[in-house]
Amino acid sequence: MKKKIIIIGIETSCDETAVSILRDNGKNRPEILSSVVSSQFEVHKNFGGVVPDLAARAHLDKIDIMTKKALKISKVSLKNIDAVAATAGPGLVVCLSVGLNFAKALSLSLKKPLIAINHLEGHALSPKLNFNIKYPYLLFLISGGHTQYLTVNKLGNYKRLGTTIDDALGEVFDKTAKLLNLGYPGGPKIEELAKTGNENRFALPKPIFNRGGSNLSFAGLKTAILRIKEYIKTDEDRKDLAASFQKTILEILYKKTKNAFEQYLKLYPKNRALIVAGGVAANKQIRLTLKKLCQEENFQIYFPDLNFCTDNAAMIALAGLERYKKKKFNNQNFEVNPRWQLDSKAKFMKGPGVKI
Ligand code: KG4
Ligand code: ZN
């Protein structure tokens, strides 16, 4: 019997040191033999955000341990690995370098191909760890660093339809949480507080809401919260602001995703499928809102399992597996790319003077 392909995936783009081992399963979803994540929550919690040098040091401390752990859980020995896949961008240079250099050394010593993975491609494919999904589909990527609508035409072929012109959605959750002294990462904390708050107490702005297309903007929302902050004194106030903030986000996402459907259907009228990926896709209210929209618009919707929404290495190994099958390998000279985009033709859209 032919040996099934086994890939090791390594992820260190930000504040998670993750290693995963996948085994190909023919045409169906791969088997996830192991997927281990070491989060740096304790390292950064007093800073309200990720400190790059501390993050890189923590990756260096953990990468070897996490690799051994993933191998042990999967009961796979290194000599059975067929390729080494590692995130090479986008992300923090010092962090990416730890994972990619480790992967290069592993690939050299095992004499197995190196596959450099775009972290966003990992997110784009992540629901395929749990579902059989065919190309093409519409991707809504909502993470701490990115907020984009993209058509995923096939592996490695993406077209951006819309993007945030300022902050990423996860960033707005984190910054709002910081203003409310809730700690980092803020997304889950806001979601929890919002459950018992009055979502109609504060009217917050929805920047570029009525503009056509699927570009998004959150900076004005953040500024409004900064202004309201001085009136926030009690736990009740905090809950109401969290609930009002989340409700505003839901309204923005409902409308902009509907606009993105229109853009997408012009390209692929028959493939009505939406994938929502990235850390913010863990938010239950966002899931419910987008599910409702998809029911109304007759779209299939897929979310990765909760543990594959936030950063993980299984999605990196999966992208590695798809690339391995197409013999898309990289050589030892491949360098980390902190600004690596999925759609290289898409215009840079951030900052003053950018036309949307
Ligand atoms: O994908 P991810 O793990 O890292 C990046 O690639 O950026 O996303 C992390 C982001 C953080 O901003 C975090 O606050 C947000 O995802 N997040 C959430 C939730 N869980 C994580 N945002 C809103 N609601 C959540 N439940
Ligand atoms: Zn991510």
User: Looking at the predicted structure, is the pLDDT value of residue 352 above 60?
Assistant: no
Q: Which two tokens stand for residue 320?
A: 């590695």
CA 177 to ligand 1: nearest atom: 14
At 353, the pLDDT band (50, 70, 90 cuts) reads low
CA 168 to ligand 1: nearest atom: 12
List the shell of residues around ion ligand 2, using CB closer than 5 Å.
Answer: 143, 311
Question: What's the pLDDT tens digit per position in 108-160?
Answer: 999 999 999 999 999 999 999 999 999 999 999 999 889 999 999 999 999 99
At 351, the pLDDT band (50, 70, 90 cuts) reads low
At 350, the pLDDT band (50, 70, 90 cuts) reads low
Q: Whose CA is nearest to atom 7 of ligand 1?
A: 144
pLDDT at 48: 63
Pairing of strands 300-302, 273-277: parallel
Q: What is the mean pLDDT of residues 183-188?
A: 85
Question: Mind listing the domains of the chain with CATH numbers?
Answer: 6-129+308-325 (3.30.420.40), 137-303 (3.30.420.40)
Q: Whose CA is nearest to atom 2 of ligand 1?
A: 279
At 190, the pLDDT band (50, 70, 90 cuts) reads very high
- Residue 295 or residue 183, greater confidence: 295
List ligand 1's pocket residues with C-beta within 6 A: 14, 143-145, 170, 173-174, 185-188, 191, 278-280, 282-283, 310-311
CA 282 to ligand 1: nearest atom: 26
pLDDT at 2: 77
Instruction: Tell me the average pLDDT of the chain.
Output: 93
Q: What is the mean pLDDT of residues 30-57?
A: 82
Q: Which two tokens stand for residue 351?
A: 């900052």
pLDDT at 192: 96
Distance 279 CA to ligand 2 centre (A): 6
- Residue 185 or residue 246, greater confidence: 246
Q: Which of 44, 169, 173 to mutate to test the pocket of ligand 1 (most atoms within 8 A of CB)?
A: 173
pLDDT at 52: 80
pLDDT at 346: 85
pLDDT at 86: 98
In this structure, how many other beta carbons lie within 10 angstroms of the beta carbon of residue 315?
Answer: 31
Question: What's the pLDDT tens digit per position in 311-343?
Answer: 999 999 999 999 999 999 999 999 999 999 999
CA 186 to ligand 1: nearest atom: 14
At 267, the pLDDT band (50, 70, 90 cuts) reads very high
Name residue, tokens 């004194």. 233
